[in-house]
Structure 1
């Protein structure tokens, strides 16, 4: 907990205001998965078969990660958000009331990016930039502890892995 506290306070106080505004803009676009749905639409529209396959994989992984993080983990772990007195700016007033653990925004972003990358590496690399920004913003804004973001990233990677291997796993264990 002391590491979480130190990292949260450093992220909240050391990021310049202009960078913080850019992080907030990226996070706002990722709210309700708008950014990832837009990216999937662009991939499907301009990417041919590879784009459609990458978009479908990304959206499936995102759905799995959101169900796991928001539908299951947040219900089981009732962790409060970082204390407002740790956050020296006014973004702390705009935090959700749900459990802090895990970061659903990070889970969705990592799942989408990790599922897109194997099919279309260039698109995955492009998606990695806003994914990283979302993860940083969740700590900088005071919405999450770094461990919440790390857990969200792990859930996202697991969602992408499961999405990629689900058919093979199903067929292997089908009687």
Structure 2
């Protein structure tokens, strides 16, 4: 993928700045967020909690979140990563020991961020309080992906756009289809 030169310079500087964020909070919190976000565990636990505790509204919110997350994963990992080949940030840019074994797949876009944003954005219309509670971990997932050296900020931004679009699709397609009948 060819990123415009000016944007690429900003992307690289921001990646280095976020990766260099060295505070006790960052050292404790971000690796834990990274671990819970692996394989969308965080969002499955949130969906189970909503479904178990939230009654009908919780079940609807959980179902919308899981469906949007699946669409986002398909679009980000199944389509976009196959179309755009981008190397992950160089490991030497990451000054801490949290550089994980990074996959060989394309850095663009962030599938973790796409799933986090999709889940959160799909939950909000049905259950705003639960969606608001999901927003903080979703932001932390995005920051953790850059901090760990797995992605550039532009990868995370693209993942967020895919996640938001996936939530919008999940919300609008059933309405559109029901109007057509």
- TM-score of the superposition, structure 1-length normalised? 0.95
Q: Find out whether 1:53 has 2:88 as its counterpart.
A: no
Q: Find out whether 1:2 has 2:9 as its counterpart.
A: yes
Higher helix share: 1
Structure 1 residues 4-153: aligned runs within 5 Å: 4-153=11-160
- TM-score of the superposition, structure 2-length normalised? 0.92
The answer to whether the 8 A contact 1:57-1:116 is kept is yes
Q: Which residue matches 1:159? A: 166
C-alpha separation in 1, matches of 2:30 and 2:92: 21
C-alpha separation in 2, matches of 1:75 and 1:92: 24
CA RMSD of aligned residues (A): 1.2
Aligned structure 1 segments of 4 or more residues deviating by more than 4 angstroms: none
What count of residue pairs does the alignment treat as equivalent?
A: 174
Deviation at 1:173, TM superposition (A): 5.0
Where does structure 1 lack aligned partners over 5 or more consecutive residues?
none
Deviation at 1:87, TM superposition (A): 1.3
The answer to whether the 8 A contact 1:15-1:140 is kept is no
User: What do the CA deviations read for 1:50-106 (whole angstroms, capped 9, x no partner)?
Assistant: 000000000000000000000000011110001112111222242222110000000
